[in-house]
Amino acid sequence: MGNQPARIYFDNAATTSLDPVVLEAMMPYFTEKFGNPSSIYSYGRESRLAIENARKSVAKILHAHPAEIFFTSGGTESSNTAINAAIHDLGCRHIISSPLEHHATLHTVEHLVRKGEVTLSEVKLLPDGHVDLDDLERLLAGSTEKCLVTLMHANNEIGNMLDLHAVGNLCKKYNAIFHSDTVQTVGHFPFDLRNTPVHFITGAGHKFHGPKGVGILYVNENVQIQPYIHGGAQERNMRAGTENLYGIVGFAKALELATEGFEADSNYIKGLKIYMMEQVKQALPDVDFNGDPLGRSLYTVLSVSLPMTGKSEMILFNLDINNICVSGGSACTSGAMQGSHVIAAINNDPNRVTVRFSFSKYNTKEEIDFVVAKLKEMI
């Protein structure tokens, strides 16, 4: 087995390490290139140029128009902006969503419902955790008011992926606005937004080896929305506040690297996921996997369901003691095992415990072997 590695990081769906090449691209903007992008002298113009070049690069990769890309503080702000705009600017009065959404969507929707601004319908889920598209169409067809459909592209806890085109075409048919939280997929899959029927998508740099605190909101050119944050004229009058200059540069660089490496990295990471599935199955009796791990699923995420025993109850704690970083369901509710609303919605068995492993290009089979051996010891 060799020596124990210093730390095994299998929580890449929560956040990823910063690629050294991305840091290198960001460094000049921490030091000599510190001008305010809104200033008119050369220092400022240089910063403005860096932002606009980043925007062009991101737009090109996603097959969007630069005018459709807005830089934000991350996926949470982007989803909040899109959902609020759909209600306040685009006239949606009925939201159709799912119980599996990230809290950035879930809590925004709940807030609007509490304020009496919208009604909410939850789409049914199939036994494997996928969205029931027939039920979605039934809800759209039966709605007397304009709908916002907000459904995530890939679930951060179980990895299930939505068919964006199928949902987008349904929204088109019933004149609904479509927002998809794509935080787990931007930087992990190719996008062709010109040919994808979606009004809003989101991205976060730290999910694909970029910096934290920076994200994007794509706003389809066919919809007109008002700013969510008011103040200065930054981001073409759409998002006030001095731009996160080095973050934006880092976001674009990380997306460029992710795109260049997509073929090799995705194959490698998918290999790790399948290898771990096989090893866990061999090592542990009565193990199961949440969602649709070998079907339409993130290659980065493996959600493992274990029988609840005295030992498995403390599993996250014991893995942590062994310097293994994982989460129980979502990182946003880690600590308490039963904290996951996603697992509760798809697999409400109190006698099972869920551990989420999520991989990156920096992980290895040796690390998986070590973790599986530890799991076997524990259970």
Average predicted confidence (pLDDT) for the chain: 94
Task: Return the amino acid letter for 362.
Answer: Y
pLDDT tens column, 188-197: 999 999 999 9
Query: What is d(CA 6, CA 3) in angstroms, rounded to the nearest whole number?
Result: 9
Q: 313 with 353: CB under 8 angstroms? A: yes
Domains of the chain with bracketed CATH: 8-17+262-378 (3.90.1150.10), 20-260 (3.40.640.10)
pLDDT tens column, 198-241: 999 999 999 999 999 999 999 999 999 999 999 999 999 999 99
Which sequence positions are flagged as catalytic? Answer: 332
pLDDT tens column, 255-310: 999 999 999 999 999 999 999 999 999 999 899 999 999 999 999 999 999 988 77
| Residue with the larger pLDDT of the pair 314 and 49 | 49
pLDDT attached to residue 8: 97
Q: CA 325, 22, 238, 121: dihedral to nearest 10 degrees?
A: -30
CA 348 to chain centre: 23
Q: 194 with 62: CB under 8 angstroms? A: no
pLDDT attached to residue 4: 65
Q: At 189, is the secondary structure helix, strand, or coil?
A: strand
Q: What is the 3-state secondary structure (H, E, C) of the chain?
A: CCCCCCCEECECCCCCCCCHHHHHHHHHHHCCCCCCCCCCCHHHHHHHHHHHHHHHHHHHHHCCCHHHEEEECCHHHHHHHHHHHHHHCCCCCEEEECCCCCHHHHHHHHHHHHCCCCEEEECCECCCCCECHHHHHHHHHHCCCCEEEECCCECCCCCEECCHHHHHHHHHHCCCEEEECCCCCECCECCCHHHCCCCEEEEEHHHCCCCCCCEEEEECCCCCCCCCECCCCHHHHCECCCCCHHHHHHHHHHHHHHHHCHHHHHHHHHHHHHHHHHHHHHHCCCCEECCCCCCCECCCEEEEEEECCHHHHCHHHHHHHCCEECECCCHHHCCCHHHCHHHHHHCCCCCEEEEEEECCCCCCHHHHHHHHHHHHHHC
